[in-house]
Structure 1
Amino acid sequence: MKIFFAISLLLGLVAVGGESFFRADDRWLLTGDSITQTDTYRQVVERVMRHYHPDNGLTFPNRSVWGVPSAHQADAKDKPTVVSIMTGMNDIIHHEYAHETDFTAKAEAYYRNILSQVRRFKALGAEVILFTPTLTDERVSSFFSPMYTRKGLVLFGEVIRRIGREEGCLVLPIAEDLEAYDATLGPNELARTDGVHPFGFAQYRIAYSIIDYLNVRGTLTGRRALSASPERVPVSVKRVNKFLHEAGEKVALEFSSFEAITFKVRWSLAAERGSETLTLQPGEKLIWRLPATPKAYDLVLGARAQAVVDLTAGERSSLYIIDLARTKVAKPINGEVAFDIVCHDAQSPATKMFKHSLMQFKGERTEGDYVGNVRIREHNNSELWLNGRVYDSVINSEAFWITGRDTVRMMFDFRPLERFGGLTPDRDTTMILMSPRLEPDFSMMGLAWWGPRFQYCIYSNGEKTEDGYTWKLGFAGNITDYAKFDISKLDYYGFHVSIIDCDGKAGTKLHSAMLSHFDINVEKALNQLIIIDRKSTFPHSETSTIQLFGY
């Protein structure tokens, strides 16, 4: 307790009781780069706000822009009452540095840029909150060249705290909290699989910092001060079931405690909510099922939902997010399974539900509605081989950004059961990009964009055809000097494939084997990959996955 009190003083936290930083009519404008633009932590904060305050009138416009540096001036047309700023990553990455680089000049420019933003938003009457910019993970080799960059971002964090003092702005230690979370992860787990972007539960950790420091739980009085994180309810919460196979099944959680305790459980899912009081004896394990109706649980293929469960005991509070996602289960026949990728009917219910800006509908594609296919087969009991065909009359391979050119994008989840479907990609997941090139001769690049250690065990090639190209990808041999790729060790694995087609005036189009809420941002849908059920573990052709985050 003394240690926590000292940290609270260091951060400038004050006890605000049950009062929130937010007012019920606040317009909170989020600004930043791709780390905020991905919209994950904002969505979690908004979802939790609706859980505690279902009738509030807060709005959460996100005006962050992918790839922008700190000099970027965000759009303020929303007339915000609150503005958060988290930027700086693009001032640092995309360069090569020596081990002992002096970042002083960059820090001075960063100071001027952030100060300009702060004063601009304050002049508009907004309360400005500063987030220390998240750091890179220099252990990861990636396209973004994170090596020797952390020092610069740490210096940027000091700049943020300086501006906070000078301008009277609240500062949230987002980077510091994320580093503390990263330190808790197990073998092969990563908060930033590309060395730069926090994904999945790492984004949830950012959201939890905001929820705690700005006291989203509290009464929406608009007391513009930071709160200390609440003491957690001493109850362990674990998933009991990881999938919902049958209609009427409910999420089951195991509650246990080392002490006798009575606590309140509040939950919300879809439009339903409820609460109950539970009592645990020391060492007792209690199975609790989230008591929403079948209607609240019902998801169509490709859809997602979030339940929120909070526990309270006196002033102690814990918060949990439960992600549900409906996905397809494919059962190989004689070790093989195949998928067709097509343009969808614009009027179909699924298309209307999951429509996005890169979608191309039936009748719109020059080469026809049949875009391509993929066949997956096992070989030698341990290897995995894929081959496919793409019907594409114009092959574009010139863009520097790999998904800005013609590409077959595949995601694989080779994690063991306990981590399977987790929202944070790690070393046992990989995104493979297959990109064709015409000159000087036709060639095919197979790149492990995520999970770069898989680069050591993948084989790829392809051929030009009259109406497009064929491609082949294989997983065989060693991933590292001590680990061999062996698909036979898994009862099932996750798979997703999209064909990215970049054709002149038509622009970039994306066609997937399964439509979902995050068809474009598949990195946000690792709990919704198609499940390749190698050993007939699943009873049906669809299931709902369950993921749990919280404390």
Structure 2
Amino acid sequence: MENHNMRFRAVALGVAISILSSASFAGGSGCFIKDGDKVGFFGDSITEAKVYGQITELVFRHFHPDAKVSFVNNGGGGRQLAGTKIDDVIKGDPNVVTIMMGMNDAINASWVRGMPLEPKIAEYKANLVKLVRDLKGKGKEVVIFTPTLTGEDAEMSCFRIEGTRLLLEAMGKACEEVAKEESVHCVPVQSEFENYQDSLPRFAQLRPDGVHPCARGQYQIARSLWTHLNLAGPLEGARAVSPAPKILDVNISLVSNMIPADADSLAFSITTPKPTAAKLTWSLGQARGSESLNLTGKDAWTLKLPKDSLPQADGKAVSLVMDIESQGARQIFIVDVFRKMVLHGKDGTASGTIADANGAQLCSYLFKKEDKGLIFEASVKKKEIVQSTNAQWPWGNGDALTLYMDLRKGASLGGLGFDGDVYQVWFKPQNKPYFSPGFHPWSGKHMMNIANSFGEKTADGYKVGVQLSGYANLHDRFDMSDRDFIGFDLSVITAEAAGKQNWFNLQKTDRQNFIYPGVMALIDINGKLKADSIFTASVFPDIIK
């Protein structure tokens, strides 16, 4: 994996150097964001997720804790550049406006593969020029992000993504052209996102549904921003988008990704290719500290944290920033710590319940390891099934159930990415003209080859489930026999009528489970743990084995 990381650094640096002649890259050593700024992030659902914006803010405040700077998220799901209203872009009156648009112009527009690119790109560019000029006319500082691409190799996607990579690549070039022609700034989010994706193992997908980045992908967008906006630089000086700085060749990993819930420290392993004298600085909320290190190549280092700075309730999470600097080179890391409930099992079987709004049992569920496979079943109490009348989306607008399973093992369990062994499925039961569990896989590798869904109408509701077993392909068998722990989340959606849904969740979390697998509860299916809560943690950029 170290070779992968080195390849990413080299390629990313090459991208930055190749466009230095553009007016959008002026160089400079100062931070792009200045004291007193209000930064507005404008975009579609990728921006609306509020992840890359929040991580960018977190890194900025790590380096400039006293700066009077605010951030506003103006993302909105489904938006296209065509028809953009200026009032939506400048809501909250930011003086610095970033734009990342194009995904919906590619997947939700009239263009489909086989149609000529040129008219669509001309339309996109004209709309972008108009928006940029409108913003400049209002005195705004404009930064364009080249849009992320679709993942056309996604196994399952409800989006029309065929052929859209070429379209989005052309949109990225149009962004660079507009930035140069209009003398505004441009950050190469697209190329660096793809370079990072190419450096990862096959099933470590940054956008599991082919469109929306998971946490690892969102953090990569933030990495492009903290790099090219030079958030580590001083606040003084002219604004400029910077080329990629020198990256310190250092990796940080957790000694264990599972940490007792009463812990007040995090243990790390720090690796470097050669002995290095460095300074490590960390921040977590208002707490911060720094330490000089003489790194020898592989070193143990423990961060002692202030009392109660880690989450004190299940479903909560915190992110801390660490940066290591040596001789002008720097590497920035984000460490996420998730507190979660432990659901105890025994001998390969675990079960539990979800209550309704009145505290009465709404759903009972069961996990069972069987041979090398895994069985999940859930029984829902519902007098009458309300069938969805909206077949467009997997969850529809009637009764439904969504299941998340993190079946990764070892240090990967609870990590940032929706990798191949992280599964999400929807059950959308129907009772007419016959009962069906309405099984809809959303993410996870080879689900259609290993999944056997089942269900039935019961006296007080319905039962649905899935058995995962057999061969994923001609060579690889699905095998859960060596797993002691499973990441798990479950939501039961009951409908009073089509379109009037109520959600009942296994747990309340402060982060979105379809972006952060780390928020999932932990099933201790073989009864290895005694505590009812535990921390899992992850590091970005992470080493994926």
Give the TM-score normalised by the residue count of structure 2.
0.90
Question: Which residue of structure 2 aligns with residue 152 of structure 1?
Answer: 167
CA contact (8 A) 2:248 2:329 kept: yes
Report how far residue 87 of structure 1 moved: 0.9
CA contact (8 A) 2:343 2:522 kept: yes
Q: Which residue of 87, 95, 101 corresponds with 2:101?
A: 87
CA contact (8 A) 1:85 1:131 kept: yes
Question: Which residue of structure 1 aligns with residue 331 of structure 2?
Answer: 318
CA contact (8 A) 2:350 2:525 kept: no
CA offsets, 1:399-456, max 9 Å, x none? 2222342211001111121321111102111101111123322322112111252122
Question: Which residue of structure 1 aligns with residue 370 of structure 2?
Answer: 379
Flag the 1:76–1:392 CA change in 2: closer, same or farther, 3 A: farther
Q: How does 1:239-278 map to 2 (within 5 A)?
A: 239-245=254-260, 247-278=262-293
Q: Once structures 1 and 2 are overlaid, which stretch shifts more, 272-281 or 234-243?
A: 234-243
Q: How does 1:17-166 map to 2 (within 5 A)?
A: 17=29, 19-71=30-82, 72-73=84-85, 74-94=88-108, 100-141=114-155, 142-166=157-181
CA contact (8 A) 2:143 2:185 kept: yes
CA offsets, 1:7-46, max 9 Å, x none? 36255533322x1111121111111111111111011001
Question: Which residue of structure 1 aligns with residue 394 of structure 2?
Answer: 402
CA offsets, 1:482-516, max 9 Å, x none? 22222213222211110123434983322111221
Residue identity in the other structure for 2:181: E
Question: Which residue of structure 2 aligns with residue 454 of structure 1?
Answer: 447
The CA distance in 1 between the partners of 2:131 and 2:110, in whole Å, is 28
Flag the 1:462–1:216 CA change in 2: closer, same or farther, 3 A: same
Report how far residue 270 of structure 1 moved: 3.2
Flag the 1:391–1:528 CA change in 2: closer, same or farther, 3 A: same
Q: Which residue of 190, 206, 211 corresponds with 2:221?
A: 206
Report how far residue 64 of structure 1 moved: 1.0
Q: Once structures 1 and 2 are overlaid, which stretch shifts more, 156-165 or 219-228?
A: 219-228
Report how far residue 464 of structure 1 moved: 3.3
The CA distance in 1 between the partners of 2:389 and 2:218, in whole Å, is 32
Q: Secondary structure at the match of 2:75?
A: coil
The CA distance in 1 between the partners of 2:523 and 2:184, in whole Å, is 50
CA offsets, 1:216-238, max 9 Å, x none? 11222373211122212233322
Question: Which residue of structure 2 aligns with residue 496 of structure 1?
Answer: 489
Report how far residue 333 of structure 1 moved: 2.7
The CA distance in 2 between the partners of 1:216 and 1:24, in whole Å, is 12
User: Are 1:542 and 2:537 an aligned pair?
Assistant: no
CA offsets, 1:220-263, max 9 Å, x none? 23732111222122333222121211523521111233333211
The CA distance in 2 between the partners of 1:30 and 1:544, in whole Å, is 31
Flag the 1:272–1:93 CA change in 2: closer, same or farther, 3 A: same
Unaligned 5+ segments in structure 1 are: 344-360, 363-367
CA contact (8 A) 1:22 1:222 kept: no
CA contact (8 A) 2:347 2:525 kept: no
Runs of 4+ in structure 1 off by over 4 angstroms are 1-5, 94-100
Q: Which residue of 286, 291, 299 corresponds with 2:304?
A: 291
Q: How does 1:301-380 map to 2 (within 5 A)?
A: 301-343=314-356, 361-362=357-358, 369-380=360-371
Question: Which residue of structure 2 aligns with residue 351 of structure 1?
Answer: none
Flag the 1:425–1:381 CA change in 2: closer, same or farther, 3 A: closer
User: Are 1:522 and 2:489 an aligned pair?
Assistant: no
Q: Which residue of 210, 232, 248 corresponds with 2:247?
A: 232
Residue identity in the other structure for 2:20: L
Question: Which residue of structure 2 aligns with residue 347 of structure 1?
Answer: none
User: Are 1:14 and 2:26 an aligned pair?
Assistant: yes
Flag the 1:238–1:77 CA change in 2: closer, same or farther, 3 A: closer
Question: Which residue of structure 2 aligns with residue 417 of structure 1?
Answer: 410
CA contact (8 A) 1:404 1:508 kept: no
Give the TM-score normalised by the residue count of structure 1.
0.89
Question: Which residue of structure 1 aligns with residue 3 of structure 2?
Answer: none
Flag the 1:470–1:248 CA change in 2: closer, same or farther, 3 A: closer
Q: Secondary structure at the match of 2:52?
A: helix
CA offsets, 1:280-335, max 9 Å, x none? 24x4x221111212321243111100111111123211111000000122222343
The CA distance in 2 between the partners of 1:138 and 1:480, in whole Å, is 20
The CA distance in 2 between the partners of 1:143 and 1:91, in whole Å, is 16
Report how far residue 549 of structure 1 moved: 0.7
Flag the 1:118–1:6 CA change in 2: closer, same or farther, 3 A: closer
Question: Which residue of structure 2 aligns with residue 355 of structure 1?
Answer: none
Unaligned 5+ segments in structure 2 are: 1-9
Flag the 1:57–1:508 CA change in 2: closer, same or farther, 3 A: farther
The CA distance in 2 between the partners of 1:236 and 1:31, in whole Å, is 33
Report how far residue 127 of structure 1 moved: 0.7
Flag the 1:30–1:98 CA change in 2: closer, same or farther, 3 A: closer
Report how far residue 206 of structure 1 moved: 0.5
Q: Which residue of 170, 176, 190 corresponds with 1:175?
A: 190
Question: Which residue of structure 2 aligns with residue 349 of structure 1?
Answer: none
Report how far residue 382 of structure 1 moved: 2.9
Flag the 1:427–1:265 CA change in 2: closer, same or farther, 3 A: same
Report how far residue 54 of structure 1 moved: 1.4
The CA distance in 2 between the partners of 1:508 and 1:119, in whole Å, is 43
The CA distance in 1 between the partners of 2:219 and 2:81, in whole Å, is 23
CA contact (8 A) 1:371 1:392 kept: no
Flag the 1:516–1:298 CA change in 2: closer, same or farther, 3 A: closer
The CA distance in 2 between the partners of 1:453 and 1:96, in whole Å, is 31
CA contact (8 A) 1:244 1:250 kept: no
RMSD, aligned CA: 2.4
User: Are 1:391 and 2:391 an aligned pair?
Assistant: no
CA contact (8 A) 1:188 1:426 kept: yes
Residue identity in the other structure for 2:454: N
CA contact (8 A) 2:99 2:143 kept: yes
The CA distance in 1 between the partners of 2:197 and 2:276, in whole Å, is 30
CA contact (8 A) 1:407 1:499 kept: yes
CA contact (8 A) 1:392 1:469 kept: no
Q: Once structures 1 and 2 are overlaid, which stretch shifts more, 23-32 or 247-256?
A: 247-256
Residue identity in the other structure for 1:277: S
The count of aligned residue pairs is 524
Residue identity in the other structure for 2:443: W
CA offsets, 1:79-135, max 9 Å, x none? 110111111111111479776442222112212221222122222211111111111
CA contact (8 A) 2:33 2:239 kept: yes
CA contact (8 A) 1:372 1:391 kept: no
Residue identity in the other structure for 1:389: V
